[in-house]
A and B are shown apart, each in its own frame.
Chain A
C-alpha cells in the first residue's frame, strides 16, 4: 500500500509541469549563476550574514533587545529554508525511484520500497556531508537554545559567505587544483613542527633551565617560530634550544616561500581559464550580437564602429597578437579558430547572433567560415570580405548574403575622385559618418502618420530633412517618372507631390542625425498609437 503511494507520488511528480517549474525556479535563484535573481539573492544573504554577525559582536558588551531576537529568529528561519531547499534541489528523488521501479520491472523482479529508498538516502546523505552543507548547518545549529554554548560556531556564518562570492570560489578552486602540492607541503610542515617541538621540549624543559614545561607549549612555540612570527613570549635559553630555533626559522622561510610560489603559479595558470569563463558568461547574456571573424586591419576598423554604436559583438581570432589587441581594447574575444563548429556555436551562432562578418585576409578561410556558418544556421546574415575578385562567386556559393571587396571599392572611389573631387568628399563624408549629415532609410509603418499621404501633404521638408526618393513595390506608381528597378521593387527618384505613400514604402532621406532620429520616432509613435 505504502509502496503504491510512493510510486503514485513519484509518477505524478514526473508529469507535473508546475512542480518542475517551481523546482527550476528555486534552482535558478540558488544555483544558476546566469540567472539575475541569483545575484540579488546572494547580496541579500550576504547582508543577512553580516548583520547577524554584527549583532553578535554588539551583544558582547550591550544588553540584548527584543527586536534583536526577532531578527535572529527570522535569519535562522531563512537559513533553514535555504538549507532545506538546497537539499531539495540537490537531486530528484522521484527520478531515482522511477528508475529503480523501471529497472525491476524490466528484470521481472518485485519492486521493494526499501531497496529503492537506499540510493535516495545515499544521495541526500551526500548533500548533508558536502562541505558547504556542513557549514550551512553549523551556522544554524548554535541558535537552538540548548546548544547555546556553541555560539562560537556562529562564526561559521561568515564561512557561508563563501557560497555567495565568486572571487572566494575562485580562490577555493585554486586551492583545490593544487591539492597535491599543498598536501605535500602540509605533511612536510607537520613533520618539521613535530620534530622541532620534540627537540625544543628536550632542550628547553624546566629541568634543563628553559621555559617550556608542557608539550603544548613546545607545539605553540614551533608554530610561532616556523612562520617566522616570533612573539618572543617563549625564548630559547640553552645553546641546544637556540640551534634548534635557528634551524627552524630557516626551514620556516623556505616553507613560506614554497607556499607562496604554489599559490602564485596556480593563479597564473588559472587566470586565463577564468577570463575565458567570464567571456563565455558575457556571451551567453547577449541578445542580437554580431560575430566578427578575424581581427586584422579590416576587423579592427569594424570593431571600432560596432563599439562606437554600442552593438554587442564577439571577436574570433586565432592569431595571438590580434587576440591580445582585442582584449587590450576591452572587446569580447575568443582565442579560437573560427573554422570550428564548436567555436561558432560558443560565439552564439544558434542563439543570440544575427550576423556573421568574415573579415580575415584569406579568401580560403572566409569561404570556409561562410560555409560552416551557413550549415549551422540557414537564416543568419553573412557578410564576407573577399580579396580576389575571382573568388566572389565562390563566396556566394558558400552562402554569403553580401560580399565586400576592399580594393575594388577603393578603386571605385579613387576613380570617382577624378573629375569631381568635391562631390566625392561630400558623399564619402556622408556615407562614412565623418559628418553629422547622414543618409538614412525609414520605412512607412502601417497606420503611421505618413501612411496614405501624398508627398505634398507629408511635407517632409518641415522636419529639416530632404527626401531623395522612395522605394516602393506599389504598382500604382508605374507611370511615375524617374523609376529605377531595384530587385523586385522600384526606386523613385525625386517623386512628385502627388506620389502616394503607402505602408511598406521606404523613404531615402538626407539630414542630420537629430532630425532623422526624431522623424523615425514620430513614425514609430504614430504606428503604435493606431495599433
Chain B
C-alpha cells in the first residue's frame, strides 16, 4: 500500500476519509480542500482512484468490506471523521456498521438515497445523515418562496464574502460563564450576531436569543454566532479562548 503510506506519513495527526469518488462526493471534497482539511479518498474502483490521483488528491483503492483494511486505514487511531458517500444505501450502512464497531468516537456522516434508510443508518451508528434530495427540494422551495433570503445566504454566508458562522464554547473562568443571553449584546459590543446557544447540560438543546425566555450561560455551552473573521477572532481573544 504505497499510496496510503505516503498519505499517513505526511499526516502526523488526524485526517478525514471520504468513501466513494463520484459526482456526489465531488463538491464535498472541494469544500474540505478549501477548509484545509487533510483528506484521503477511498473507492473500490481502481479507475476512479487514478482519476482522483490525476486531480492531485490522496486516494487509495480499498475494499470497505474487510475490517483489516479499515483498521490499516486508521479507524480507531488517527481518523477523526468518515464520510460514507457510496452509491448504495446498503453499502453505506455496511461501512457505517463496520466503522462504528471499530471506533466508538468516530464522526460518521453518511449520504442516503431513500428516506427509509435514514433510520437504518442511525441505528448502524452514523452521527449525521444527509439526504441530498430532501435538501435539494428545500432549496427549490426556498428559491420559490424566499428568493431574497436565498441570495443573501448564497452570496454572503455560504459565498466568498467574509461573513462566517462559528461555534464558540464557553471556556472556564471567562466573563461569559453565568451571564444571561439577554445581557450579552454581542451585536453592539463585538459586531457579532448571536443566532442561538446550545445548552451542554440538555443534550445541546438550542436556545434562540429572541427575547422570550432567558438562558444563563454555563461552561461548555456553545454560542452560535455570525460575523466577520476579524470580529470572531477578536471575540475569542476577549473571552480568553485564544491568546
A contacts, CB < 8 Å to B: 290, 297-302, 304-306, 309, 355, 357, 359, 381, 383, 385, 387-389, 402, 404-423, 425-427, 429-433, 435, 437, 439-441, 461, 464-466, 468-469, 471, 481-482, 484-487, 491, 493-494, 506, 508, 510-512, 515
A410 adjacent to B32 (CB under 8 Å): no
Given A415-B31, A423-B165, A484-B156, A494 and B133 touching (CB < 8 A)? no
Q: Which residues of A have CB within 8 Å of B30?
A: 411
Cα A407 to Cα B34 in complex, Å, equals 17
Q: Which residues of A have CB within 8 Å of B34?
A: 415
B contacts, CB < 8 Å to A: 16, 23-32, 34-35, 37, 81, 83, 107, 109, 111, 113-114, 127-128, 130-146, 148-153, 155-156, 158, 161, 163, 165-167, 187, 191-193, 195-196, 198, 204, 206, 208-212, 222, 224, 226-228
Cα A298 to Cα B115 in complex, Å, equals 11
Q: Which of B83, B139, B149, B150 contacts A440 (CB 8 A)?
A: B149
Given A411-B30, A421-B128, A471 and B133 touching (CB < 8 A)? no
Give A305's nearest chain B residue, CB to CB.
Answer: B141
Q: Which of A426, A431, A484 contacts B163 (CB 8 A)?
A: A484
B28 adjacent to A464 (CB under 8 Å): no
Residue with the highest number of chain B CB atoms closer than 10 Å, among A421, A426, A464: A426
Q: Which residues of B have CB within 8 Å of A485?
A: 155, 161
Cα A419 to Cα B37 in complex, Å, equals 10
**SS class of chain A's interface: helix, strand, loop or mixed?**
mixed
B26 adjacent to A408 (CB under 8 Å): yes
B211 adjacent to A464 (CB under 8 Å): yes
**What 8 A-B pairs are tightest by C-beta distance, nearest first?**
A411-B27, A301-B137, A415-B31, A411-B28, A410-B132, A408-B27, A406-B136, A441-B148
Q: Which residues of A have CB within 8 Å of B163?
A: 484, 493
**Whole-angstrom distance from the CB of A411 to the nearest CB of chain B?**
3
Cα A381 to Cα B83 in complex, Å, equals 36
**Whole-angstrom distance from the CB of A220 to the nearest CB of chain B?**
66
Q: Which residues of B have CB within 8 Å of A427?
A: 165, 195, 224
Q: Which residues of A have CB within 8 Å of B222?
A: 422-423
Q: Which residues of B have CB within 8 Å of A304?
A: 137
B136 adjacent to A385 (CB under 8 Å): yes
Taking A431-B142, A486-B156, A493-B227 as known contacts, 6 extra A-B pairs with beta carbons closer than 8 A to each other, sorted by chain A number, are A302-B137, A302-B140, A385-B136, A413-B135, A418-B32, A469-B193
Given A418-B16, A427-B195, A482 and B165 touching (CB < 8 A)? no
B24 adjacent to A407 (CB under 8 Å): yes
Give A415's nearest chain B residue, CB to CB.
Answer: B31
Given A383-B144, A441-B146, A484 and B35 touching (CB < 8 A)? no
B149 adjacent to A359 (CB under 8 Å): no
Residue with the highest number of chain A CB atoms closer than 10 Å, among B133, B165, B166, B228: B133
B31 adjacent to A301 (CB under 8 Å): no
**Whole-angstrom distance from the CB of B3 to the nearest CB of chain A?**
23
B206 adjacent to A435 (CB under 8 Å): yes
A418 adjacent to B35 (CB under 8 Å): yes
A413 adjacent to B206 (CB under 8 Å): no
Given A412-B27, A412-B31, A414-B111, A406 and B133 touching (CB < 8 A)? yes
A407 adjacent to B23 (CB under 8 Å): yes
Given A415-B28, A435-B206, A466-B210, A385 and B196 touching (CB < 8 A)? no
Q: Which residues of B have CB within 8 Å of A441?
A: 146, 148-149, 152
Q: Which residues of A have CB within 8 Å of B37?
A: 418
**Whole-angstrom distance from the CB of B31 to the nearest CB of chain A?**
3
Cα A357 to Cα B144 in complex, Å, equals 9
Give A441's nearest chain B residue, CB to CB.
Answer: B148
Provide a sorted-by-A list of 15 A–B residue pairs whose CB atoms are within 8 angstroms.
A385-B136, A389-B23, A406-B132, A410-B27, A410-B132, A410-B135, A411-B30, A415-B27, A421-B127, A426-B198, A437-B196, A464-B211, A484-B156, A485-B161, A493-B156
